[in-house]
């Protein structure tokens, strides 16, 4: 306070503390550097309104943006992980699980729900990437299979949104075998002529990419998602070349014939509802 203010107190008092901006109210788009109001981003399915960059999105949020509000129910939530191998690296698997559960409020990296999309009945699985990099261990495999079984029982289409680094190392070969388990389950869905739509989101790598994710009747990519078998760093170290621009991105996979098409997340509900209805020879869904 200056000497002048000490004599004559200002009529308009300045508030002592500045009103702080609540954390997470604003976020910066990593693609275009635009500062975005978080609520706007959230309302836009976590796609940057400025440049269309698809931010990563959690499993529950994903299901929430995709499914109709009414008539949802979760499948396989009672299945929980165990540390069969008593795996320990620099840290224990058990500790990593506890931490991941705390950070995500999930018990493992896959959430499965039954519901409808524009009235078309579906079973939808979505990966939670923040749970140990969306890695596939026994629980992910089991929940996936239960989802497929529920789809079979309800004569519904099965949709999976992948976001995973691959198989979970901490469960050793049990994780590898989830690739065989999930792929095998799809043979049953297929035998009954029920569609499996695989949506590849950023990132879909390793054991997830090399099993059910590439077995969709229709395979869809989100814009600019990293999709591949081996990670870019591993490839670079092996071949000792710099990788071409856009390598292993959705657009690259479409170009090479590995993915049917790219769909913007904001169009996902509409496009998949129409497509599934066509594949199941249902009448056109009413798009609200």
Binding residues vs another protein (CB under 8 A): 74, 77-82, 84-85, 87-90, 137-139, 141-142, 145, 167-169, 171-181, 183-188, 206-207, 209-215, 227-231, 234-235, 238-239, 241, 243-244, 247-248, 256-258
Q: How far is the CB of 55 from another protein (least distance, A)?
A: 24
For another protein, give the closer residue by CB, 31 or 235.
235
For another protein, give the closer residue by CB, 186 or 199.
186
Q: How far is the CB of 250 from another protein (least distance, A)?
A: 13
Quick one: 165 exposed, middle or buried, by C-beta within 10 A (0-12, 13-18, 19+)? buried
Q: How far is the CB of 130 from another protein (least distance, A)?
A: 18
Q: How far is the CB of 201 from another protein (least distance, A)?
A: 15
For another protein, give the closer residue by CB, 48 or 136.
136
Give the residues across from 112 on adjacent strands: 75, 125
For another protein, give the closer residue by CB, 31 or 169.
169
Alpha carbon distance 167, 179 (integer Å): 8
For another protein, give the closer residue by CB, 36 or 199.
199
User: Could you tell me which of 238, 171, 181, 169 has the C-alpha nearest to residue 206?
Assistant: 169
CB 45 within 8 A of CB 57: yes
Q: How far is the CB of 194 from another protein (least distance, A)?
A: 15
Long-range CB pairs of 26-31, under 8 A, 24+ apart, other chains included = 29/53, 29/55
Q: Tell me the DSSP string of 239-266.
A: H-SPPPTTTTBHHHHHHTTSSSEE--GG
Quick one: 110 exposed, middle or buried, by C-beta within 10 A (0-12, 13-18, 19+)? buried
Q: Residue 183 contacts by C-beta under 8 Å, 6 or more apart in sequence? A: 211, 212, 215
For another protein, give the closer residue by CB, 46 or 127.
127
CB 113 within 8 A of CB 74: yes
Q: How far is the CB of 174 from another protein (least distance, A)?
A: 6
User: Could you tell me which of 221, 232, 227 has the C-alpha nearest to residue 249?
Assistant: 227
């Amino acid at each position: 306070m200056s000497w002048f203010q000490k004599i004559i107190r200002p009529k308009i008092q300045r508030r002592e503390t500045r009103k702080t901006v609540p954390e997470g109210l604003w976020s910066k788009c990593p693609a275009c550097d635009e500062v975005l109001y978080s609520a706007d981003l959230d309302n836009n399915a976590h796609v940057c309104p400025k440049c269309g960059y698809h931010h990563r999105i959690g499993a529950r949020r994903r299901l929430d943006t995709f499914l109709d509000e009414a008539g949802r129910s979760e499948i396989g939530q009672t299945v929980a992980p165990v540390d069969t191998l008593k795996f320990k690296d620099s840290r224990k698997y058990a500790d990593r699980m506890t931490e991941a559960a705390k950070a995500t409020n999930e018990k493992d990296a896959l959430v499965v729900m039954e519901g409808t999309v524009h009235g078309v009945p579906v079973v939808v699985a979505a990966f939670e990437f923040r749970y140990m990099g969306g890695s596939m261990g026994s629980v992910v495999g089991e929940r996936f299979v239960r989802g497929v079984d529920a789809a079979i029982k309800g004569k519904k289409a099965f949709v999976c949104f992948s976001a995973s680094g691959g198989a979970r190392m901490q469960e050793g070969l049990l994780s590898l075998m989830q690739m065989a388990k999930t792929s095998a389950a799809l043979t049953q869905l297929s035998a009954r002529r029920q569609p499996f739509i695989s949506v590849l989101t950023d990132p879909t790598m390793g054991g997830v990419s090399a099993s059910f994710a590439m077995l969709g009747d229709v395979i869809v990519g989100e814009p600019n998602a990293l999709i591949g078998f081996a990670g870019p760093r591993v490839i670079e170290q092996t071949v000792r070349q710099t990788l071409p621009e856009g390598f292993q991105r959705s657009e690259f996979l479409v170009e090479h014939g590995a993915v049917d098409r790219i769909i913007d997340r904001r169009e996902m509900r509409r496009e998949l509802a129409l497509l599934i209805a066509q594949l199941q020879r249902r009448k056109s869904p009413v798009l609200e």
